[in-house]
């Protein structure tokens, strides 16, 4: 069965159709990417899936159960890092645990071993304003991780990282996904990134608000280091560019 199923979602803002009859699905353990031009409605779709926004039409199903308009079922990393400026990084990362009612001390103890893994060692007691853009993004990712639902929605999670950090984050993320049985839907503008880490890619057209293509990346995982230099990679890229 599909882990997550998005059925016939439509959404307009003041008469402007942003999403038009969108249906996508996400299988258990899959990493699926949503690729589309800026302003195409990708974030809007995530807001609907996460239950923050109600669609004009359509349904969101998680494990077959209707979760339309119900927040709290998916781990959602929003496009902005939204670290709270008045909390230290560790208290920001621990926020999902505090919301579940855990004690501050225990919550901190649970997050602190993860700082190294996320490349954030030494930042526990700092405030968001003292971190670089990339570090803030990783802190936001850590916070999303702490919410630990089995479906993650990531809105451009790695956009503020340099190429080298990005590729090590990719490797790390893929291994985490495997370990904790995570399924991920994620948004990017970066076509290379999409081909490198996705199992499937949906192309979202900006003007129509529709899914205009679905591309399956057949290359097995974990992918070889030079996959982005191969002819197949270029072939995928050409196909995507022609469909966008």
Ligand X SMILES: Nc1ncnc2c1ncn2[C@@H]1O[C@H](COP(=O)(O)OP(=O)(O)OP(=O)(O)O)[C@@H](O)[C@H]1O
Query: Counting contacts by CB under 8 A, is residue 78 touching other proteins?
Result: yes
Cβ–Cβ < 8 Å for 95, 147 = no
The least CB distance from residue 24 to ligand X, in Å, is 14
* Residues paired with 152 in a beta bridge: 75, 184
Pairing assessment for the beta strands 65-66 and 75-77 based on DSSP bridges: unpaired
For ligand X, the closer CB: 120 or 152: 152
Q: Find which of other proteins, ligand X, Mg ion, none residue 44 binds, CB within 5 to 8 Å per kind.
A: ligand X
Burial label, 179 (beta-carbon count in 10 A; 0-12, 13-18, 19+): exposed
Of 120 and 201, which CB lies nearer to Mg ion in the complex structure? 201
Q: What residues contact 20, with CB distance under 8 A and at least 6 apart? A: 10, 208, 209, 210
DSSP 128: G
| Separation of alpha carbons 71 and 243, rounded Å | 33
Tell whether residue 51 is a contact of other proteins (CB under 8 A).
yes
Question: Binding segment for Mg ion among 39-47, 53-61, 174-182, 211-219 (CB under 5 A)?
Answer: 39-47
Tell me: does residue 80 bind other proteins (CB under 8 A): yes
Alpha helices of the chain — where are they, by DSSP H? 42-49, 89-93, 95-99, 104-111, 114-117, 133-147, 163-179, 191-197, 231-243
Q: Residue 43 interacts with Mg ion (CB under 5 A)?
A: yes
Smallest gap from Cβ 162 to other proteins, in A, equals 19
Per rule CB under 8 A, is residue 147 in the interface with other proteins?
A: yes
Residue numbers at the binding site for ligand X (CB under 6 A): 13, 18, 36, 38-44, 79
Q: Which does 40 bind (CB under 5 to 8 A by kind): other proteins, ligand X, Mg ion, none?
A: ligand X
Under 8 Å between Cβ of 28 and 37: no
Piece of the chain touching other proteins by CB under 8 A; list 4-12, 73-81, 108-116, 189-197:
73-81
Does 98 contact other proteins by CB under 8 A? yes
Q: How far is the CB of 107 from ligand X (least distance, A)?
A: 31
């Amino acid at each position: 069965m599909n882990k997550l199923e998005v059925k016939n979602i439509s959404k307009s803002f003041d008469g402007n159709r942003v999403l038009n009859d969108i249906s996508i699905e996400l299988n258990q353990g899959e990493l699926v990417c949503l690729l589309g031009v800026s302003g195409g409605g990708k974030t809007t779709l995530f807001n609907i899936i996460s239950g923050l926004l109600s669609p004009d039409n359509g349904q969101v199903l998680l494990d077959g159960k209707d979760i339309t308009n119900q927040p709290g079922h998916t781990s959602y990393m929003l496009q902005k890092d939204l670290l709270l400026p008045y909390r230290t990084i560790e208290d920001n990362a621990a926020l999902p645990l505090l919301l579940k009612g855990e004690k501050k001390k225990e919550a901190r103890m649970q997050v602190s071993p993860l700082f190294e893994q996320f490349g954030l060692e030494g930042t526990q007691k700092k405030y968001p304003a003292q971190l670089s853009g990339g570090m803030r993004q990783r802190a936001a990712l850590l916070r999303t991780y702490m919410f630990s639902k089995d479906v993650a929605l990531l809105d451009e999670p790695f956009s503020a990282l340099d190429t080298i950090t990005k590729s090590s984050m990719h490797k790390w993320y893929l291994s985490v996904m495997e370990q904790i049985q995570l399924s991920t839907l994620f948004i990017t503008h970066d076509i290379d990134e999409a081909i490198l880490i996705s199992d499937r890619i949906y192309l979202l057209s900006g003007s129509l608000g529709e899914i205009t293509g679905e591309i399956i990346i057949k290359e097995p995982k974990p992918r070889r280091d030079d996959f982005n230099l191969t002819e197949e990679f270029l072939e995928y890229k050409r196909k995507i560019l022609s469909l966008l």
